[in-house]
Amino acid sequence: MNIEELEQIADSVRGANASFDHEVNVCMGTGCLSQHSDRLKDALAKAADASGKKVLVRRTGCMGLCAAGPLVLVDREHVLYQHSRAEYSERIVAGLGGEPVAGLQCNLREHFDEQVHIVLENSGRIDPEKIDDYIARDGYKALLTAITEMKPDDVVRQITESGLRGRGGGGYPTGLKWSTVAKAVGDQKYVICNGDEGDPGAFMDRSVMESDPHRVIEGMAIAGFAVSASKGFVYVRAEYPLAVSRLSTCIRDARRRGLLGSGIGGTTFNFDVEIRLGAGAFVCGEETALIASIEGKRGTPRPRPPYPAVSGLFDKPTLINNVETFANIAPILRKGARWFASIGSERSKGTKVFALTGKINNTGLVEVPMGIKLRHIIEVIGGGVPDGHTLKAVQTGGPSGGCIPADMLDIGVSYDALIGVGSMMGSGGMIVMDDTSCMVNVARFFIEFCMTESCGKCIPCRAGTAQMYTLLTRICDGSATMDDLALLEDLCATVKEGSLCGLGQTAPNPVLSTLKYFRDEYIEHIVHKRCPAGVCSMQVPAEVMA
């Protein structure tokens, strides 16, 4: 396969698409599939056949607005139908080329117009399992250009200049990581894609793997070229069966097209990818635990250094990046580092995909430029809090992040700004809370999560999170004293500073941030035995106390 052949495939797909008068895209991501969008697609295809119109009915990945699913996008007319069902298919087909079906249309212009799609540029536009669809949208062009026209160092330089930072949460500069692995000495090196997304309320990586798997594979292959690795592993949690099956199909198709395997693009570059399934441990998202898991060992972290860049998988230099990081690579090479660096804020470049969940109208995925105000994401793009409730706080960064109170939401989204307010970017979960959420209970929820997901290797995380959970339960049921609160704060310090890996080191963040901004709620629980949000049921009711 060379670039000319790639262009030929792209042209033939574009030609085939042009022979249709209408394109009907049906979202078949996990969210819409759970509402039977597969039946909807079949019904649409049938209705299209019966109508005699030239209609291309296409299965696509996630369109983002999961709250309104199943979604149908009529491409050329730019009409989006929400809550579509198989029964509506004849009406939808009848409306093609004419007036859109009344009452079915989704008119959330501000939701879509304010977004900038780089990672999600193909999501909802292509059939994720058709490699030719991806090629028609400039897929694999970046890979073939890189291996035929660039040196590995040039690729690393492009990534460095783009200012891309790791999208898994830590925000480590991607170019720096790549150059470290590129410089590491070793006859065998590995590339790992971390798809063990486990934060409660986060589904960005799942969506990317389901909607545009070739983008991830292409990013990995480019990385393999840049750091001289010939083997890649995608580590996906087994709870994402659709992502696993689509990735498997895509890896097979890429091999058939000669875009993976030996001698890619007629060069001497070899690269192949294998899938490894996670067995349901959150801690395996931590890079050293993930590597142990791929090696077939118990998935527990080990102290760093040595970092995986020097000694990783099977003790070889290993590049490990998140799904979304790899999804950014091909566009950066295609459009240039300067283009990418022009998007975003000063120290956080590009865009970030967030999963909006919780008390928000437009539940789903959004991709926004870095630097955009949190309030704007929630109130404009997210459509605000439903049912007339008031916004109270936003939780970012999952169990490692913190709660940001409503009055601080005018900060711009960036790695540094979020850390500045006691939270973190994390992988992109954004849980919105309103006045019916009890912040102590929220903290307890996240600590319970960390307690059950702790691997048990180091004492501060294993026993510390369990004790934090006990103390928080006491606060929630009204049996705690102020001494318990002091003890909890003390324990937070030891778990944060003493734990071995990121799971334990960041586990106290939800407690620390709610203590910082919502301390009065803790006091209310402890002293007045009252839950201000009315969530916690107290062992000792307030009237008995009085």
Partner 1 sequence: MNDADVKTLEIDGHQISARRGQTILEVARENNIDIPTLCHLDGLSEVGACRLCLVEIKGSNKLQPACVTAVFESMSVITDSDRLNRHRRTILELLFAERNHICSVCVANGHCELQTLAQQQGVTHIRFPYRYPELPVDASHERFTADHNRCILCTRCVRVCAEVEGAHVWDVSGRGINSLVITDLNQDWGSSSCTRCGKCVQVCPTGALFDKSKIGSGHPKYPDFLVNLNLMREAR
Q: Does 459 bind partner 1 (CB under 8 A)?
A: yes
Taking the complex as a whole, the smallest distance from the CB of residue 248 to partner 1 amounts, in Å, to 28
The answer to whether 228 contacts partner 1 (rule: CB under 8 A) is no
Rounded least distance, CB 502 to partner 1, Å: 12
The nearest distance, CB 461 to partner 1, in angstroms, is 8
Give CA separation, 64 vs 13, 69, 367, 467, in Å: 25, 9, 9, 39
Q: Identify which range of 176-184, 344-352, 422-430, 465-473 contacts partner 1 by CB under 8 A.
A: 465-473
Of 464 and 510, CB closest to partner 1: 464
103 binds partner 1 (CB under 8 A): no
- The interface mask with partner 1, positions 466-485, x = CB under 8 A, is xx--x---------------
- Where does 279-416 show beta strands of DSSP type E? 318-322, 351-358, 364-369, 391-396, 402-405
In whole angstroms, what is the distance from residue 95 CA to residue 108 CA?
Answer: 20
Residue 92 parent element (H or E) = helix 89-94
419 binds partner 1 (CB under 8 A): no
- Total residues contacting partner 1 by CB under 8 A comes to 32
**CA triple 363-367-373, angle to 5 deg:** 85
Rank residues 270 and 470 by Cβ distance to partner 1 and give the closer one. 470
Nearest approach, Cβ of 463 to partner 1 (angstroms)? 4
**Which whole-number Å values give the CA distances from 67 to 70, 388, 396, 456, in the listed order?**
9, 18, 20, 37
Sheet with 272-278: strands ordered across: 272-278, 231-237, 190-195, 318-322
Cis-peptide into 510, omega within 30 deg: no
Spatial separation of the C-alpha atoms in residues 136 and 125, rounded to whole Å: 11
Considering only residues 263 through 302, tell me which ones interact with partner 1, judged by CB under 8 A: 281, 283, 298, 302
For residue 346, count other CB atoms closer than 10 A to its CB. 11
Q: Establish if 248 lies at the interface with partner 1 (CB under 8 A).
A: no
Closer of 498 and 532 to partner 1 (Cβ): 498
Considering only 15, 456, 534, 541, the residue that binds partner 1 (CB under 8 A) is 456
How many angstroms separate the CA atoms of 342 and 331, rounded?
13
CB of 310 vs partner 1, minimal distance in Å = 13
Token pair for 68: 């309104």
Residue 315 touches partner 1, criterion: CB under 8 A: no
**Contact status: 509 vs partner 1 (CB under 8 A):** no
Q: Residue 254 and residue 213: Cα distance in Å, rounded?
A: 11
Tell me: does residue 494 bind partner 1 (CB under 8 A): yes
**By CB under 8 A, residue 452 contacts partner 1:** yes
Q: Assess 451 for contact with partner 1 (CB under 8 A).
A: yes
The candidate with the shortest Cα–Cα distance to 198, out of 355, 368, 432, is: 355
Return the residue of 170, 173, 201, 498 that touches partner 1, per CB under 8 A. 498
CB of 90 to partner 1, least distance (A): 52
497 binds partner 1 (CB under 8 A): yes
Q: Is the dihedral of CA 438, 409, 325, 303 positive or negative?
A: negative
Rounded Cα distance between 484 and 489, Å, is: 9
What are the C-alpha distances in Å from 78 to residues 81, 324, 481? 10, 27, 59
Only one of the segments 25-33, 224-232, 490-498, 513-521 lies at the binding site for partner 1 (rule: CB under 8 A); that segment is: 490-498
Q: Could you list the residues that contact partner 1 (CB under 8 A)?
A: 281, 283, 298, 302-303, 305, 451-460, 462-467, 470, 487, 490-491, 493-494, 497-500
